[in-house]
Amino acid sequence: MSVLPKNEIRRLVAGKPPLVEGYLDLERQLQPNGFDLTLRDIALFQNAGQMGAENAGRRLPDLAPLVFGTDGFIELVPGSYLITYNEIVHLPVNVMALGRPRSSLLRCGVNIGTAVWDAGYSGRSQSLMVVYNERGFRVQKNTRMMQLVFFTLTSDTDGYSGKYQGENIR
C-alpha cells in the first residue's frame, strides 16, 4: 500500500469518473499528499442516535441545518456538528482514503472525526466536527476543512456497497 502523490491525484481527478468532482479550486485544494475537502453545510444533532449489533439496529439522529450569515460565516458554540463537504469522491476499487483535519482547524480548538473511505465508495461525505474551544468557533462556507489522503491497495477489492454508497449526490 502506498500514498498517492499530487501528480497521481491530479491524473485521477481528470479521469472518468473523476476521483474528486465538485471542487472549488483544484490548484488550491490539491496537496502534496492529498486533497482538501471544503465545507458545504453544517447541521446540529437534534436527538440521540443508536447503533445495534446488526445494521437493522442503526438509527441516525435527526438533524437541524444551520444557516450561514450574509457574510458567509457562522458562529458555533462548543459542541458536536455534522458537516457535509462540497466535493463528491469516486474511489476506484484499488484506492481507499483517510481524512485528517487541517492543522489550522486543530489550532482553533476544533477537530474532525472521520471514518474510512472504502475502496469503491462514491458520494458526498459527511464528518463529525467537534468544537472544543470554550469560546466557540467561527467558520466560513467553502472553507478547506480536511485533507483526504488516498492509498493504493495491493490488489482490487469488491468495492464498498453499504448504506452510504451514493450519499448526498442528489
Convert the pLDDT of each residue in 147-170 to its tens digit. 999 999 999 899 999 889 999 997
pLDDT of 23 = 98
pLDDT at 37 > cutoff 80: yes
Residue 56 counted as domain residue = no
| The three-state (H, E, C) secondary structure of 106-167, written as one string | HHCCEEEECCCECCCCEECCEEEEEECCCCCEEEECCCEEEEEEEEECCCCCCCCCCCCCCC
pLDDT band at 55 (very low <50, low <70, confident <90, very high): confident
Q: Parallel, antiparallel, or unpaired for β 34-45 and 30-31?
A: antiparallel
Q: With H, G, I as helix, E, B as strand and everything else as coil, classify residue 84.
A: strand
Reported as type and span, the H/E element at residue 26 is helix 26-29
pLDDT of 110 = 98
Residue 40 counted as domain residue = yes
Average pLDDT over residues 120-128: 97
For the record, the C-alpha cell of 170 comes out as: 442528489
pTM of the model: 0.95
For the record, the C-alpha cell of 117 comes out as: 473511505
Residue 145 counted as domain residue = yes
Full domain range(s) for residue 136: 2-46+61-152
pLDDT at 1 > cutoff 90: no
pLDDT at 113 > cutoff 90: yes
Into how many domains does the chain fold? Answer: 1
Q: Residue 128 is part of a domain; what is its CATH number?
A: 2.70.40.10
pLDDT of 56 = 87
pLDDT of 106 = 97
Q: With H, G, I as helix, E, B as strand and everything else as coil, classify residue 57.
A: helix
Mean pLDDT of the chain: 96
Residue 166 counted as domain residue = no
pLDDT of 35 = 98
Residue 20 counted as domain residue = yes
Convert the pLDDT of each residue in 15-36 to its tens digit. 999 999 999 999 999 999 999 9
pLDDT at 60 > cutoff 80: yes
Reported as type and span, the H/E element at residue 19 is none
pLDDT of 117 = 97
Residue 108 counted as domain residue = yes
| Residues contacting 36, CB < 8 A, separation 6+ | 28, 29, 30, 102, 144, 145, 146, 147, 148
pLDDT of 14 = 97
For the record, the C-alpha cell of 114 comes out as: 472521520
Contact 9, 35 (CB under 8 A): yes
Residue 162 counted as domain residue = no
pLDDT of 170 = 77
Of the candidates 70, 71, 56, 74, the one whose C-alpha atom is nearest the C-alpha of residue 129 is 74
pLDDT of 115 = 94
